[in-house]
Structure 1
Amino acid sequence: MSSISETLKAKIRASAGNRCGYCRSLQIYVLGLLEIEHIIPKAKGGTDDEENLWLACRLCNNYKGTQTDAVDPVTNKKVKLFNPRKQKWSENFEWSSDGAQIIGTTATGRATVIALQLNNIISVTVRQQWVLAGWHPPTET
Structure 2
Amino acid sequence: MSVSEFTKKYVRNRADYLCEYCHSPEKISSSRFTIDHLQPRSLGGSDTEENLALACNRCNQNRYNFVVGRDLETSTILPLFNPRNQLWQEHFIWSLDATKVIGTTAIGRATCDRLDMNDEKYKGERSIREARALWLEAGWHPPANDLRQLKV
Structure 2 length-normalised TM: 0.88
Cα distance in structure 1, aligned partners of 2:62 and 2:140: 24
SS in 1 for 2:31: coil
**CA-to-aligned-CA distance 1:83-119 (integer Å, 9 cap, x gap):** 1121110100000000000000000000000000000
The answer for the alignment partner of 2:117 in structure 1 is 118
The 5 Å alignment of 1:1-141 reads 3-120=2-119, 121=123, 122-140=127-145
> Partner of 1:31: helix, strand, or coil?
coil
SS at match of 1:71: strand
* Paired letter, 2:91: N
Q: Distance in 2 between matches of 1:34 and 1:70?
A: 22
DSSP 3-state at the match of 2:144: coil
Alignment size in residue pairs? 140
2:149 corresponding residue in structure 1: none
Q: CA deviation at 1:134?
A: 2.1
Structure 2 Cα separation of the partners of residues 15 and 82 of structure 1: 17
Taking every aligned residue pair, what percent have the same amino acid on both sides?
A: 41
Amino acid at match of 1:138: P
Q: What's the CA shift string for 1:52-109, capped at 9, x where partnerless?
A: 0010011100000011001111111111000112111010000000000000000000
Find the aligned partners of 1:49 and 1:100 in 2 and give their Cα distance.
Answer: 33
| Alpha-carbon separation, structure 2, partners of 1:99 and 1:82 | 20
CA RMSD after TM alignment: 1.2
Deviates more, 1:60-69 or 1:121-130: 121-130
* Dislocated runs of 4+, deviation >6 Å: none
Q: Helix, strand or coil for the counterpart of 1:74?
A: coil
- With 124-133 and 95-104 compared, the bigger mean Cα shift is at 124-133
User: Normalized against structure 1, the TM-score is what?
Assistant: 0.95
> What CA distance in whole angstroms lies between the structure 1 residues aligned with 2:41 and 2:25?
25
The runs of 5 or more residues in structure 1 that have no matched partner are none
